[in-house]
Amino acid sequence: MRGPHNLWRLVRTGATLERTGAMRVILDAFDAPAPLRVAARVLGWPFTWLGDEGDPALPPAVRALQALGPAYIKFGQILSTRPDLVGDDMARELRVLQDKLPPFSVALAKLQVEEELGRPVDNLFSTFSEPVAAASIAQVHKATLAETGETVAVKVLRPGIERAFRKDIDAFYFAAWIIEVLSPASRRLRPTEVIAHFEGVVMGELDLRLESAAASEFAANTQNDAGFQLPTVKWPYSGRSVMTLGWAEGVPLGDNDALDAAGHDRVALSERVLQLFLNHALRDGFFHADMHQGNLKVAANGDIIAYDFGIMGHIDIYTRRVYAEILYGFIRRDYQRVAEVHFEAGYVPADRDVDEFARALRAVGEPIFGMDATKISMGKLLAYLFEVTERFGMETRTELILLQRTMVVVEGVARSLNQHMNIWTVAKPVVEDYIKTSLGPRAALNDLRKTAVVLARFGPRLPGLVEAALIRQAAPAAPARVNPWPTRLLWSALGAVAGGGAVALALALAG
């Protein structure tokens, strides 16, 4: 599937961006350098007639992303939470991609519910509304359970969505391969592995049984979190393509006017949403990884309600400790410790100089701490950190992609509620508390206890395992396969033809 036929899809991507006027808008939003603007124009303009014109009533970026399909819509959803990157106007325009996409018919939704649950809709629900929200993968209907009279939300997958996503992901793999061929320096970013990670996340989102399980686990983890609610999964009314939850009644977190009218404290909400995310990521290692405004409401009592659990992030305890130490080091401006953590975790090659790396990190952190609170940004920090780690040969850590992306999204949500929020001040107590409980003497003793338990369990097998490992180490390595250079040059030439699409996908991957 990941062959040259995808060249056509990349050409169509660039042509659609050009035809809708989105290419210029996106390049302006990212403040792209002149050479990239010229290249995109020269390579995209001849193919403009091949692009999809989309809905002329929509703004250019929304028009193009909606025409291109669900994977591109996901990209737009991320940008909608980052007014600091794309500007307030574009961020506001892109919010329609969160839950206001064109729905499919209620008749088709009912048919899918009946096929999945094996019973007529009228027997299951006494009422079943028109779509109340429609996103890239599914839409939601408000319904009433016939048995209990409880109001619920019924989520139904879009027909054919899995096939559509697979086509987009297939093209993304091809684009990643082209980027690696045309720019060997990009290989440290492991674009193919990044796409593989994205594929795993998306494929999990297309099975609503997994989403139901994630919602249940998330609820168990967060049941004692003050100011936070989750709707309850209705298991008898859920399956692979249908999920039923308790109805979440509240004000959308992205509607500041409605929040003000309801008397909610937006400053408190901005701090809580960031601290909740950090607690879930560090304390539990299991967090909501799609926390944009379209998936959050505020209840009448001021609680934040989260829903849509299709994308959940998981990080192991060691990675949590590394991430916390890096954050804590920046908060304390202890750049030497931040550098040491990178080396201890193997993120930076051991042959580099740790003191020089610490000085480079200081050059990243100090200008940010000197900024006004309104200009302090996790997005800027990650961008600067990216530049430094590139110099020191750090490869992309795929296990951190979702965590870092969600951190940036949550910061965008929090800042949309309170633009004066200082993220370091808000994050500090959560990170400090985690450091105290997870890296102190008690945590070290607990780690030793767990290690002793594992060793005792596998004790009788240890000699054999060690012997097998030594034998594998001594075995000669298989010769590496070499790609013929003529083939590489051919693919490079083909990649250049698809430049417009590749530029767009490179921007999407960067997001």
Phi, then psi, of 501 in degrees rounded to 5: -70, -40
Task: Answer with the one of 389, 421, 439 that is the final residue of a domain.
Answer: 439
| Three-point CA angle 239, 241, 247, nearest 5° | 75
Q: Which domain holds residue 419?
A: 250-439
Same domain, residue pair 278 and 402: yes
Helix (H) or strand (E) holding 258: helix 256-261
Same domain for 371 and 277: yes
- Smallest CA-to-CA distance from 181 within 446, 425, 502, 510 is with 502
Check residue 420 and give its pLDDT.
85
Query: Residue 30 has what pLDDT?
Result: 60
Residue 41 structure tokens: 């124009």
Question: Last residue of a domain, which of 149, 175, 204?
Answer: 204
Which pair of structure tokens corresponds to residue 503? 């530029």
Beta carbons of 238 and 244 less than 8 angstroms apart: yes
At residue 118, the pLDDT reads: 94
Examine residue 44 and state whether it is found in any structural domain, yes or no.
yes
Contact assessment for residue 129 and residue 142, using Cβ atoms and an 8 Å cutoff: yes
| 17 in a structural domain | yes
- Token digits for 152? 């619920």
* 258 plus 357 within the same structural domain: yes
**Which long-range CB contacts under 8 A does 182-187 form with residues at least 24 apart?**
182/492, 182/495, 182/496, 182/502
Please report the pLDDT score of residue 315 as a whole number: 87
Give phi and psi for 479, each to the nearest 5.
Answer: -60, 140
Residue 334 included in any domain: yes
The verdict on residue 219 lying in a domain is no
- For residue 58, give the nearest of 32, 21, 30, 8 by alpha carbon: 21
471: in domain: no
| Domain-located, residue 132 | no
DSSP 189: G
Last residue of a domain, which of 204, 233, 262?
Answer: 204
**Do residue 291 and residue 407 come from a single domain?**
yes
What are the mean pLDDT values of the chain's consecutive 10-residue runs (511 residues total)?
A: 64 80 73 65 70 82 83 72 65 73 90 94 96 87 96 93 80 77 65 74 82 95 95 95 95 93 95 94 91 90 92 87 85 90 87 91 79 65 69 69 79 88 86 81 70 72 78 65 42 39 39 39
pLDDT of residue 482: 46
Specify the 3-state DSSP secondary structure of 228: strand
Verify that 388 and 263 share a domain, yes or no.
yes
- Asked whether residue 106 is domain-assigned, the answer is no
| Number of domains the chain is built from | 3
**Residue 71 shares a structural domain with residue 182:** no
pLDDT at 189: 59
In a domain, 489, yes or no: no
| Amino acid 359: pLDDT | 92
* DSSP structural state of residue 5: T
Other residues' Cβ atoms within 10 Å of the Cβ of residue 317: 13
Structure tokens of 79? 């940008």
From CA 327, how far away is CA 384, in angstroms rounded? 14
What is the spatial distance between Cα 357 and Cα 258, in angstroms, rounded to a whole number?
47
Active site residues: 290
Q: Are 384 and 256 found together in one domain?
A: yes
